[in-house]
Amino acid sequence: GRLLCGPGLRRSGTGLLVTKCGLLRHRQAGGAAPASGAYWVDSQQKRYVPVKGDHVIGIVTAKAGDVFKLDVGGSEQASLSYLAFEGATKRNRPNVQVGDLVYGQFLVANKDMEPEMVCIDSHGRSSGMGIIGQDGFLFKVSLGLIRKLLAPKCEIIQELSQLYPFELVLGMNGRIWVKAKTVQQTLIIVNILEACEYMTAEQRRQVLAKFSGN
Amino acid sequence: FMQRGLDSQTKKQLEEEEKKIISEEHWYLDLPDLKEKESYIIEERSFMPCEDLLYGRMSFKGFNPEIEKLMIQMNSKSKKEEIEVDDKMEADVSDEEMARRQLYIFYYLYRYETLVGTIGKKFVRKRDQGVLQDEDEDGSSNTKPSKKVKKKFLKPQD
């Protein structure tokens, strides 16, 4: 069986070394084979380190010829080629301006090279990636909260979805973009998301009950 | 330099000579080969496969219908329920596609017919030329004079 050693663990010789502090988690593999599944360390941090395959929200900071420079919250700016959008050709360039928000995934991300992003998947389809539209609100939270929100059957998301219609984009680099019908609704959702990291479930339900009445 | 019909022996000699020359010039580490241990541990730096995270773009209560469709697609892909969704979608698409393809086929058949007619005339034998001339005079290819018993290329009826 194959053992997956996830973030916070490193292989050294025949054993594993722990490189981060946190809770050790284990997930059993589907086939219930012995010595398989995944182990990782659930740690908390605010600073994002680019990882290949992660979907992140980037802010366009510069346009250098054929390549856009994006700020993803890491130590370096990521590069994004203008051809890495769905349906982009040399003549049909995407309409990207400085200051736009882009949702994409990392193609190359290691400590030796500048991170590269693309907005298409391996089939050449955008599948939801690309320039994020107008309006909305972008804010930053810790990485642990993002993972909590993206977990399957997240209660916070389910309870929020009962409140108002809204749209949400979660980037693994700690950035969340929210858009609702009015500015007030958007700000309410933003404040709840920021605060829910330190609220218990009971407190959260009280807050939501207060707003669902309005 | 690999000549045909060279003996296997002489070939071996040539190869050995080449190897000798190469090994003298090439630098190599005089270390024993490190056996790559068959590692059954895979290192992974991303959280996605560990925790089965959902797709990051979401929409609720119909705010953005495209994103909601995408949500169903992406999240069911990870749970391998995609098969059902795909079948349903494929059925819808295939009906339209079938209709469109049939139209194309009819169009091409029509073009093929007319093409065959014009090119067929080139290869017609002398005996049949009389027939052709009659046809042209008549103006329509379907009506034939009754005395003709010749076998002709039968055009497919629509």
A169 chain-B contacts, CB cut-off 8 A:
56-58
Element (H, E) at A71: strand A67-71
With vertex at residue A204, the alpha carbon angle to CA A199 and CA A207, rounded to the nearest 5 degrees, is 125
Share of chain B above pLDDT 90, in %: 3
Indicate whether A178 and A152 sit together in one domain: yes
CA distance B43 to chain A (A): 5
Q: Say whether A52 and B42 touch across the interface (CB within 8 A).
A: no
**A20 neighbors A5 (Cβ within 8 angstroms):** no
pLDDT under 70: residue ranges of chain B: 1-6, 22-39, 78-94, 117, 120, 124-149
Indicate whether A117 and A178 sit together in one domain: no
Indicate whether A167 and A198 sit together in one domain: yes
CA distance B86 to chain A (A): 16
DSSP letter string over A33-65? -TT-EEEEEE---SS----TT-EEEEEEEEEET
Indicate whether A102 and A151 sit together in one domain: no
Of residues A156 and B25, more confidence is placed in: A156
CA distances (Å), B148 to each of B55, B122, B124, B125, B133, in order?
Answer: 74, 20, 16, 15, 13
Indicate whether A116 and A143 sit together in one domain: no
Residue A126 belongs to some domain of the structure: yes
Q: Please enumerate residues of A whose Cβ is less than 8 A from a Cβ of B.
A: 1-7, 9-11, 14, 16, 25, 27, 35, 38, 40, 51-55, 103, 127-128, 147, 150-152, 157, 160-161, 164-172, 179-181
CA distance A147 to chain B (A): 7
pLDDT digits (tens, 9 = 90+) for A15-57: 788 999 999 988 887 655 555 688 899 999 889 999 999 999 9
Say what the pLDDT of residue B142 is: 47
**Residue holding tokens 């298409």?**
A120
Domain count, chain A: 3
Residue A164 belongs to some domain of the structure: yes
Determine how many CB atoms are found less than 10 A away from the CB of residue A48: 21
- Domain end call among A77, A101, A131: A131
φ and ψ at A176, to 5 degrees?
A: -125, 140
- Distance, in Å, from the CA atom of A101 to the CA atom of A59, rounded to the nearest integer, reads 5
Least confident of A133-137, A151-155, A209-213: A209-213
Contacts of A113 (CB under 8 A, 6+ apart): none
**pLDDT confidence tier of residue A171, bands split at 50, 70 and 90:** very high
pLDDT at residue A112 above 80? yes
Residue A49 belongs to some domain of the structure: no
Say what the pLDDT of residue B139 is: 45
Question: Which pair of structure tokens corresponds to residue B110?
Answer: 């029509």
| Least CB–CB distance from B43: residue in A10, A53, A165 | A10
- Distance, in Å, from the CA atom of A209 to the CA atom of B1, rounded to the nearest integer, reads 87
Indicate whether A159 and A113 sit together in one domain: no
A9 chain-B contacts, CB cut-off 8 A:
43
Q: Looking at residue A193, which CATH number applies to its domain?
A: 3.30.1370.10
Residue A104 belongs to some domain of the structure: yes
Say what the pLDDT of residue B134 is: 52
Q: Are strands B41-43 and A166-170 parallel, antiparallel or unpaired?
A: unpaired
Q: Looking at residue A63, which CATH number applies to its domain?
A: 2.40.50.140
Please tell me the pTM assigned to this model. Answer: 0.67
- ipTM score of the complex? 0.80
| Least CB–CB distance from A4: residue in B37, B44, B54 | B44
**Residue holding tokens 């393809």?**
B101
Least confident of A99-108, A180-189, B145-154: B145-154
Residue A48 belongs to some domain of the structure: no
What are the structural domain ranges in chain B? 46-80, 95-124
Residue A146 belongs to some domain of the structure: yes
| Least CB–CB distance from B41: residue in A5, A150, A166 | A5
Say what the pLDDT of residue B28 is: 61
**B51 neighbors A26 (Cβ within 8 angstroms):** no
- Domain end call among A88, A108, A131: A131
Structural domain of A23: 4-42
| Least CB–CB distance from B54: residue in A2, A11, A152 | A152
- Distance, in Å, from the CA atom of B15 to the CA atom of B95, rounded to the nearest integer, reads 64
